[in-house]
């Protein structure tokens, strides 16, 4: 009889997206009526040990007391996972670094009653690592440290894990995942794994439950029909930001992703001010299209002074590239990377907010909503409304909503 129960064991250095991937797997499996539960070693450690275990030395492999405590925690979760599958559970997800081959041999030996699938999360993007660390140190266990001390402590913790880390190899059933780009790097499955096709689909699909896509408020350049630049908001634009803050005050928005331009950050600030806990994260990937030699010009000036440029762009707006700048077609890679960063840094259950620009938001919409490329430059992106997006394996919702 085919086994319908499965252990999933997460593997990877700290801040590589293991918990986010584990949560995504649990939510998607549960949606498909497959009972799944996460057994997270870090959460258990914080519940069991009242003393300070946030200091880096606790994770030093030469710290015998720390090693013993972490092994005890690992064994408790292993036994909890076994009990869960021996009852009504179908998938038990063991969420920890599981960095050493020795720990993984122990897991394989003790979890012998059902198939085991290892999922290794790999990501070496330094910007994402830094942003992930900043999120990690928001935990209460780092509350007694300054931000600088907490960052240093967490990086030292990573260093200790790196000293014992062995990538997955050998005869185990495993998937190696680029956890930023949702791409399977390597896979080895020697035995039949329950729900294998569903799991692979979940891992490689960008999913968002609640994404609020907003264009910045009115700027002085908007009034003059100028493109690009770094114009600040007008008084009306600032009022729009306040209205957004009021509209979203009852929704929990832990992170607001913006471009590096003043107008998106100024729009985000009053939203952040109405949230209990919120951080603005500017990403270069969401900067507006670089219009090259036309930067800061009005469309009328371009038609008058550069009629060839205006005509060529009008003929094929999606594929046209501004001299010395970009086009929609060349923006796609960086916009896709920005979306993946925003999803990576957000918990699967979080409301995600992106405040971008007209061309940028068109590209973000086209990432989730199939549109012919030649139609993308004509998607409606107003400044008094926002797009609500929910895109999962099971449904896609796109709504344009007014906030004023």
Share of the chain above pLDDT 70, in %: 99
Find out if CATH 3.40.50.300 is the number for domain 6-204.
yes
Predicted pLDDT of residue 52: 66
Q: What is the pLDDT of residue 94?
A: 98
HSE-up of residue 282 (Cα within 13 Å, Cβ side): 14
pLDDT tens-digit profile of 292-330? 999 999 999 999 999 999 999 999 999 999 999 999 999
pLDDT tens by residue, 157-208: 999 999 999 999 877 899 999 999 899 999 999 888 999 999 999 999 888 8
CB-based contact 203:10 (threshold 8 Å): no
Task: Examine domains 6-204 and 208-402 and report if their fold is the same.
Answer: yes
Q: Is 173 exposed, middle or buried (0-12, 13-18, 19+ CB in 10 A)?
A: buried
Whole-number pLDDT of residue 176: 96
Q: What is residue 51's predicted lDDT score, i.e. its pLDDT? A: 65
The phi and psi torsions of 28 (rounded to 5 degrees) equal -70, -40
Mean pLDDT value across the chain: 93
| Residue 4 and residue 194 in contact, taking contact as beta carbons nearer than 8 Å | yes
Ranges assigned E (strand) in 204-335: 208-215, 255-258, 279-282
Give the start-to-end residue ranges of the domains of the chain. 6-204, 208-402
Banded pLDDT at 152 (limits 50, 70, 90): very high
**Span 112-135, mean pLDDT?**
91
Structure confidence by residue, pLDDT tens digits, 327-342: 999 999 999 999 999 9
Residue 124 is predicted with a pLDDT of 87
Largest CA distance in the chain: 76
pLDDT at 2 exceeding the cut of 90: no
208-402, CATH topology level: Rossmann fold (3.40.50)
Please compute the mean of the pLDDT values over residues 81-95 and round it to a whole number. Answer: 97
Angle (CA) 280-183-328 rounded to 5° is 60
Are the C-beta atoms of residues 41 and 96 closer than 8 Å to each other? yes
Q: What percent of the chain has pLDDT over 90?
A: 79
């Amino acid at each position: 009889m085919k086994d319908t129960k499965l252990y999933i064991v997460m593997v990877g250095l700290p801040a590589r997206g293991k918990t986010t991937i584990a949560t995504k797997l649990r939510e998607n499996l549960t949606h498909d009526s497959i009972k799944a539960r996460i057994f997270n070693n870090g959460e258990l450690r914080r519940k069991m040990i009242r003393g300070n275990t946030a200091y880096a030395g606790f994770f030093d492999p030469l710290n015998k007391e720390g090693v013993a405590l972490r092994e005890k925690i690992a064994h408790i979760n292993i036994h909890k996972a076994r009990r869960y599958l021996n009852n009504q559970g179908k998938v038990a997800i063991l969420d920890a670094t599981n960095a050493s081959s020795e720990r993984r041999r122990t897991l394989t030996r003790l979890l012998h009653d059902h198939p085991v699938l290892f999922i290794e999360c790999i990501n070496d993007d330094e910007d994402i690592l830094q942003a992930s660390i900043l999120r990690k140190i928001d935990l209460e266990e780092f509350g007694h440290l300054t931000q600088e001390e907490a960052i240093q402590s967490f990086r030292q913790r990573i260093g200790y894990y790196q000293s014992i880390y062995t990538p997955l190899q050998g005869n185990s059933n495993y998937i190696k995942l680029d956890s930023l780009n949702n791409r399977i790097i390597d896979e080895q499955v020697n035995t039949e794994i329950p729900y294998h096709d569903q799991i692979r689909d979940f891992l490689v699909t960008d999913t968002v439950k609640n994404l609020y896509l907003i264009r910045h408020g009115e700027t002085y350049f908007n009034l003059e029909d100028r493109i690009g630049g770094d114009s600040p908001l007008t008084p009306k634009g600032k009022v729009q930001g306040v209205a957004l803050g009021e509209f979203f005050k009852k929704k929990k928005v832990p992170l607001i992703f913006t471009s590096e331009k003043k107008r998106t950050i100024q729009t985000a600030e009053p939203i952040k001010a109405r949230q209990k806990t919120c951080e603005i994260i500017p990403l270069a990937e969401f900067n507006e299209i670089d219009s090259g030699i036309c930067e800061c010009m009005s469309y009328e000036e371009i038609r008058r002074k550069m009629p060839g440029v205006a005509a060529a762009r009008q003929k094929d707006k999606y594929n046209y590239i501004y001299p010395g700048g970009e086009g929609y077609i060349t923006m796609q890679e960086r916009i896709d990377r920005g979306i993946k960063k925003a999803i990576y840094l957000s918990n699967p259950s979080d409301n995600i907010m992106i405040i971008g620009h007209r061309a940028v938001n068109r590209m973000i919409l086209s990432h989730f909503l199939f549109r012919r490329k030649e139609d993308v430059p004509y998607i409606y992106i107003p400044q008094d409304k926002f797009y609500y997006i929910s895109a999962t394996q099971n449904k896609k919702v796109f709504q344009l909503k007014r906030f004023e």
